[in-house]
Every structure is written in C-alpha cells, then in structure tokens.
Amino acid sequence: MALVAALAISLGIPGIHFFFAYNYHDTVLKAQTSILAQPLQRMINLNPMIWTFDSEAIQDLLSRGIADHKVEVRRVKQLNGKLIESSPGLVSELAWPTITVRQQLMDQEQPVAELEVIYSLDSALSITKLVALMSTTAGFAIFWFLSQFPLRMLEKSWRRINYLASYDALTGLPNRPTFLEQLSRVIEDVECPSQTVIIHCIDLDHFKAVNDTLGHAAGDTLLRQAAERMRDCIRKGDTLARMGGDEFALIQTNEATPKDAATLAARLIATLSEPFELEGKTTFIGASIGMAIHSQNNPVAPDQLLKNADMAIYKSKSVRRGIYHFFHEDLDQELRARKQLESDLIVALREEQFVLHYQPQIDPSCGQMLGVEALLRWHHPERGLIPSNVFVSIAETMPLMSPLTRWIFRTACAAGKRWPELKIAVNVPPTMFERDDMVEMVNSALA
C-alpha cells in the first residue's frame, strides 16, 4: 500500500496539476478571445468590404496585451485558412504544448473570417515537471503536505476561473456573457405595463488617443477610473458591465422611464467629461450613449435590445460625440442607407466618380477674378451630382479620406497647370493635418 500511495503521489499530483492548469488557461483564453473579437467585429460591421485592408489597425488590435510574443500568437484568417494579419511572432516559435482557441467573426450573421489565438503552455508544463520531481523525490515524507496543498491550490484556481468567466479582471464589472444573462432575467421579470427595462450602451470617446499617447497602462487606469465614476452614478439594482475595449453597458430597471434614462445618460456623460489624472497629466475624454427600451407594450429580445442600443450609439456618434440618443424604428433604415452610401463611396473612389467644380473668386472692387475654389462633387450613377457635405463626413470615418485627398490634390494641381495665372484653393478636412504623410501628399501632387 505504501508503494501504491507513493506512486499515486508521484504520478497523480503532476497529472492533476497539468489538467487543471490546462483548463484554467483554456477558460482564460476563451474569455480573452471573446473580448479581443469585439473591436475586430466592430471593424467588420463598420467597413465590411474593406476591413481586411486596414492591416495596421488589425495588427494593433491583435498585439494589445501580449507580454511575450514567444508565448502567444494571435491571427485573423479567412475561412479558407488564408492569413489576413497576425500579431508579431511565429506559431513555429511557440514552445510545445500549445492551446488554440478560435472564434468566428461575423458580417450580417454570416461568418467572414476567423480569429485564432495560440498560447504556449510551456510554463505550465515546466511547473508540472517540477511538481513531478518534488512528488517523486519527496515520496512518503511529504505525503500529507502534497495531499492538502493541491486541494487548496485547485480551489483557489477554480474560484479564479469562475471569477474570470463572469467578471472583467480589469474593472471588476460583469463581463458581456454575464450582462446578457442578467438582461434575459430582468426581461423575463417584466410583469406589468409600468415595468420597463432600459439599456445604455456607453462608448468612451477618444480612448484610443489616450492609449496611443500615454500607453496601455494609462489606458487601463482610465478604464478603472471611468468604471468607478459610472458606479457612483447608478442606483442599487442597476447593472453596469464592461462589454470589451472602451465599451460599457448598463441595465436600468425599477420602473425607469425614458426621462429617467435621459437624466442618467446626461449624468454619465457629464461625469465622464470631467478631467482624469493619468501619469501626472490631465486628460479629457467624454462619452457617447445609445439607449433602447423593453416593455410589455414593446417587447424586444435581449440580443435585439442590445443591437438597438448599438444602433442608437452609432447615431449619436454620427451627429457628434458626447451626446445620447434613443433607438427608434427609423434608425435601422438610416443605418442601412449609411451602409449603402459607404459601399458606394468605395466604388466611387475606385471608378473615379468624383469631380472638382471650380468656383471663381472675384474682387468686387474691380471685377477681376483672383482665383478659384475647388469644390468636390460626387457624380453618383443613380443619384446624380452629390455635394461634399453629404458624404465627406462619412468618408472621414472610413480609410478613404487619404486616397480621396490625394486625388483632390492631383486634380487641382493639374488644373493649376492649365491656369497658371490663377490661385486655386482646396478644402482639406482638419483630420488630414494630423497625418504624418500630409506634406508628402502635397509635394507629390506638386511634382
């Protein structure tokens, strides 16, 4: 029996350790993959036809939070297995054994790509080897200790796994799956017309700029501070969750009215617009909020309710940042029209449907023409001539503004060569002056 017990300790403890270590990493990796898929999914939803061309943004998202590229590799692949983009590092460099988690990326409920995260369990294996060595050499001398310590360690690991499966490790808020479960429960509890469920989708404005300028550590601090401020604004019984990235969501119950929701949304925007102290610097962000309502008179499924709030926040951002908006039925049609316009813009740039009209600038004192102003127009094959104020603001949200500005510069400079005696003024969106290649664009057009 003593030999059997010694063998059980020598082989059983390391086997159990690696089994639970594997399941721990598998659960954490699935949660991280689900969080990582959110901004990628948003890129697809915003630009379903060209998102794969934005390699820099995709690689930036894939690289976030990776401490060691020799331990974890993240890849986005087409459904046929062709690689779209990958984080730094090679799968072949990952030490054996590895664990892989995959999640499909959807467009209009159809899979268009696959997110794949490969993680090396070499550190877990090394610990397992050490446990095996200790259990083998210690034998009966540490039988009691090794029969107790794994139980405590496994209990702690299990509690940690359950916590990570339900809560966001950074802010301590419920995560997306927990939020959806809670939303389903509160919707089921609606029993009379006076009861409502109102959800708020909250996006932090200018969060990416904070990450880019102050670093991810400052971004994490900002998320924690923002979560704490929002906690202070809500009532007991309301549920605040982090959905991923800079996105939060709130379930407002207790017979809340649209007026109550608007008041809360305004309070949230106000508190998030106050300055944050990060890395010794004062930083301002703000927030945009979209809201959707469920009641007995207007029943909405949980997933659809969340989509409605997402559409409302999209509407808020299309007007201007730092405001809130309620979902209404016309929003769906508006967003479909915007999506169609975005698709048409891509075709317009490829097929050169844009034209420049030149408006003369006259000196009123003598009637002499001093120059012309180049005005951008879109010669749409179905809608005719469209002025720039209809589509430029949309183009600025897509990776189209840079090639479109290059075309404007080239075309205006070509006209300038034909009219050397005239000055030509060109309107340029302010965001273009933030680009590093702005000077190169001008020089290239003048060459």
Question: What are the start-end ranges of the E strands in 132-270?
Answer: 196-204, 239-244, 247-252
More confident site: 193 or 261: 261
More confident site: 158 or 24: 24
Give the pLDDT of residue 250.
Answer: 94
Instruction: Please indicate, yes or no, whether the overall pTM of this predicted structure exceeds 0.75.
Output: no
CA distance 324 to 297: 23
In this structure, the number of other CB atoms found within 10 A of the CB of residue 297 comes to 8
CA distance 14 to 150: 10
Query: Which residues lie closer than 8 Å to 330 by C-beta, 6 or more apart?
Result: none
> Which long-range contacts (C-beta less than 8 Å, at least 24 apart) are formed by 312-315?
312/201, 313/201, 313/202, 313/203, 313/288, 313/289, 314/290, 315/290
CA distance 385 to 164: 54
CA distance 393 to 387: 12
pLDDT exceeds 70 at position 144: no
pLDDT exceeds 50 at position 2: no
More confident site: 116 or 390: 116
* Burial class of residue 246 (count of CB atoms within 10 Å of its CB; 0-12, 13-18, 19+): buried
pLDDT exceeds 70 at position 301: yes
CA distance 124 to 72: 14
Range scoring the smallest mean pLDDT among 167-181, 302-316, 328-342: 328-342
Element (H, E) at 363: strand 354-363
CATH of domain 338-446: 3.20.20.450
pLDDT exceeds 50 at position 175: yes
Give the pLDDT mean for 314-322. Answer: 79
**Topology of domain 179-327, per CATH?**
Alpha-Beta Plaits (3.30.70)
Range scoring the smallest mean pLDDT among 30-39, 245-254, 330-339: 330-339
The answer to whether residues 202 and 230 touch, using CB atoms and an 8 Å cutoff, is yes
Residue found under tokens 């309107």: 427
Backbone angles phi, psi at 99, to 5 degrees: -125, 140
Give the pLDDT of residue 222.
Answer: 92
Q: Which of 168, 246, 310, 344 is catalytic?
A: 246
Give the pLDDT mean for 242-270. Answer: 89
pLDDT digits (tens, 9 = 90+) for 392-438: 877 877 778 888 888 888 888 888 888 888 888 888 877 777 777 77
- For residue 151, what are the CA distances in angstroms to 128, 143, 158, 161, 315? 15, 13, 10, 15, 52
pLDDT exceeds 90 at position 345: no
Cα atoms found within 13 Å of the Cα of residue 173, Cβ hemisphere only = 27
Highest mean pLDDT out of 224-228, 305-309, 405-409? 224-228
The answer to whether residues 371 and 387 touch, using CB atoms and an 8 Å cutoff, is no
Give the pLDDT mean for 275-297. Answer: 88
pLDDT band, residue 142 (cuts 50/70/90): low
Helix ranges, 274-329 (H) = 302-319
185: its two tokens = 């429960």
pLDDT exceeds 70 at position 145: no
Q: Please state, rounded to an integer, the average pLDDT across all residues of the chain.
A: 84
CA distance 431 to 437: 12
- For residue 370, what are the CA distances in angstroms to 66, 92, 227, 363, 416? 57, 65, 56, 6, 13
Give the pLDDT mean for 274-284. Answer: 89
Give the pLDDT of residue 148.
Answer: 61
Helices then strands, each counted (H, E), the chain? 14, 15
Architecture of domain 1-143: 2-Layer Sandwich (3.30)
pLDDT digits (tens, 9 = 90+) for 362-403: 888 887 888 899 898 989 888 888 888 888 877 877 778 888
Residue found under tokens 């704490």: 228
Range scoring the smallest mean pLDDT among 4-8, 21-25, 64-68, 240-244: 4-8
Q: What percent of the chain has pLDDT over 90?
A: 18
pLDDT exceeds 80 at position 352: yes
More confident site: 337 or 176: 176
Secondary structure of residue 117 in the 3-state scheme: strand
CA distance 43 to 53: 11
pLDDT band, residue 1 (cuts 50/70/90): very low
Task: Spell out the domain ranges in the chain.
Answer: 1-143, 179-327, 338-446
Q: Residues in the chain, how many?
A: 447
Query: Which residues lie closer than 8 Å to 91 by C-beta, 6 or more apart?
Result: 73, 75, 98, 118
Give the pLDDT of residue 157.
Answer: 75
Give the pLDDT of residue 274.
Answer: 94
The answer to whether residues 271 and 233 touch, using CB atoms and an 8 Å cutoff, is yes
Query: Which residues lie closer than 8 Å to 272 by C-beta, 6 or more apart?
Result: 204, 226, 229, 230, 285, 286, 287
Query: Which residues lie closer than 8 Å to 98 by C-beta, 6 or more apart?
Result: 91, 118, 119, 120, 121
Residue found under tokens 């180049």: 374
Give the pLDDT mean for 175-196. Answer: 85
Question: Which value, to the nearest 10 degrees, does the dihedral of the CA atoms of residues 126, 131, 134, 137 take?
Answer: -100
Concerning whether 246 is annotated as a catalytic residue, the answer is yes
CA distance 4 to 139: 11
More confident site: 405 or 149: 405
Element (H, E) at 266: helix 258-273
CA distance 40 to 308: 20
